[in-house]
Amino acid sequence: MEFINELQWRDLIFDQTPGVNDFFNNEKVTGYVGFDPTSKSLHVGNLLPIMNLVRLQKHGHTPIALVGGGTGLIGDPSGKSEERKILSDQEIEENLFSIKNQLQKFLDFDSKLLNKAIIMNNADWLKKESLIDFLRDVGKHFTVNYMMKKESVKSRVTRDTGISFTEFSYMTLQAYDFLYLYENHNCKLQMGGSDQMGNILAGVDLINKKNPGPKSYLAHGIVFPLITSSSGEKFGKTAGEAPTLDPEKTSAYKLYQFFINTPDEDVINYLKYFSNLNSKEINILNEEMINEPKRRDAQRTLAENLVEAIHGKNGLLEAKKITEYFFNEKYDNLTEQNILDLAESFPSFNIEKNILETNLKLGKFLVDNQVFSSMSEMRRMLDQGALYINGNRITDSNTLLTKNLFLIGKFMIIRVGSKRYYLSTIK
């Protein structure tokens, strides 16, 4: 029950099958979450299912991270308005390798543990299953009427694009995954987002039908709420593309900034969802935020916890160093990589080296590269003292574009007012 109790105080149970509480009271549980391998990297939106696998393991149960190498070739229609691009086997394999490396930063796969985490690929059994055998042994347990009632199917059928038979069959494949894990690994729990309840129940029903007996649940499902910000935006999508959990794709600095900029209205919930802090620690941070909101201790704790988990201690130190130097405009202390990491957070543009030989005035250069919409806006900002190059205020409209205006001979950090930043790089 400790696991269920923790999910409850963290507000992480949206729905569950009947009898879950008794189920956890009576046995050590093996449970799984599925991960879509259609990208080389998981993203911050995957943090919630990952952290709940972590919690499952913490309380003595066995977590399985199921990577959908087989179902990824099909595509889950849940939450999608159109059919996904079907990936090749090679693309799936490359994505699998990358995802496994990311999951290993959170889950303990030590073979000495009785409840060591397990990573599996459903292609290992789905590709061995013949079509005739699957239709006979699995398909016969699903009626079209039953499948049509599921929201993931119903919402697509009513659209002009409809839904292909390929995606229509996804539910049966996911249900078979649950059955396979139940029969071969004693896995009796599937977890996922709230949009997965239909697919999870399909698996629970299939397990019951394949194992006739008393009409009780042989397997169970728990689904988590859809995480949204206080403004109603889906978590991770506030600024467009969600930051990834791949250090090669999303720098420690960018990830740190993503979490440290969490609004006050959201940060306590995010600490509940994405950190291992206990309720007492989170309550203390909540009190500090109420009394001294400008300190942003809650945001800092959230950012530090997650950046260290994904990028390690050195990555966290680097992210904090860049943040400090950038905030205080100590740009001379930044390395080339530091500046490139910064560039992930604001617009950038490249220029040719020979432009420095043209006696071009800085104002025209900035207008040409759309930092300002017009020369009149440029002059207005200059008169207001709102233009800074590498932390230095520019007051002379006749300033020439020279190499002296570039850090390390190639980077210009432009600030307009207090919040507008641009990076120009000499190529």
Cα angle 125, 130, 134 (rounded to 5 degrees) comes to: 85
Determine the residue type at 221: G
Run of H or E including 152: helix 151-157
Query: What is the C-alpha separation between 205 and 145, in angstroms, rounded?
Result: 15
The candidate with the shortest Cα–Cα distance to 398, out of 350, 346, 342, 360, is: 360
Location of each CATH 3.10.290.10 domain in the chain: 346-426
Q: What is the pLDDT of residues 183-231, one digit of tens each?
A: 999 999 999 999 899 899 999 999 999 987 776 789 999 999 989 877 7
3-state secondary structure of 266: helix
75 touches 132 (CB < 8 A): no
Beta strands per DSSP E along 130-271: 189-193, 220-224
Average pLDDT of the chain to the nearest whole number: 89
Run of H or E including 207: helix 197-210
Fold assignment, 2-224: Rossmann fold (3.40.50)
Query: What is the C-alpha separation between 95 and 72, in angstroms, rounded?
Result: 10
Whole-model pTM: value is 0.86
Of 44-53, 235-244, 396-405, 411-420, where does mean pLDDT reach its minimum? 235-244
Give the model's pLDDT for residue 77: 54
Give the model's pLDDT for residue 416: 95
90 touches 69 (CB < 8 A): no
The candidate with the shortest Cα–Cα distance to 185, out of 125, 138, 256, 255, is: 125
Confidence check: pLDDT of 374 > 70: yes
CATH of domain 252-330: 1.10.240.10
Cα angle 381, 385, 389 (rounded to 5 degrees) comes to: 85
Number of CB atoms found within 10 A of residue 248's CB:
9
3-state secondary structure of 88: coil
123 touches 177 (CB < 8 A): no
Name the percent of the chain in helix, strand, coil, to the closest 5: 50, 15, 35
User: DSSP states of 270-296 as a string?
Assistant: HHHHH----HHHHHHHHHHHHH-GGG-
Number of CB atoms found within 10 A of residue 64's CB:
21
Give the model's pLDDT for residue 237: 58
Distances (CA, A) of 33 to 14, 82, 165, 275, 284: 16, 24, 25, 18, 32
Confidence check: pLDDT of 65 > 50: yes
Distances (CA, A) of 362 to 215, 357, 423: 78, 13, 14
Location of each CATH 3.40.50.620 domain in the chain: 2-224
Give the model's pLDDT for residue 241: 66
The predicted model gives 38-67 an average pLDDT of 94
Confidence check: pLDDT of 80 > 60: no
Confidence check: pLDDT of 296 > 50: yes
The CATH architecture of the domain made up of 346-426 is Roll (3.10)
pLDDT band at 170 (very low <50, low <70, confident <90, very high): confident
User: What are the strands of the beta sheet with 189-193, ordered from one edge?
Assistant: 15-16, 220-224, 189-193, 30-35, 62-67, 118-121
Location of each CATH 1.10.240.10 domain in the chain: 252-330
Name all contacts of 353-358 with Cβ < 8 Å and 24+ positions apart. Answer: 353/426, 353/427, 355/401, 356/401, 356/402, 356/403, 356/426, 358/401
64 touches 40 (CB < 8 A): no
CA neighbours closer than 13 Å in the CB half-sphere of residue 99: 27
Q: What is the pLDDT of residues 246-263, one digit of tens each?
A: 998 999 999 999 999 999
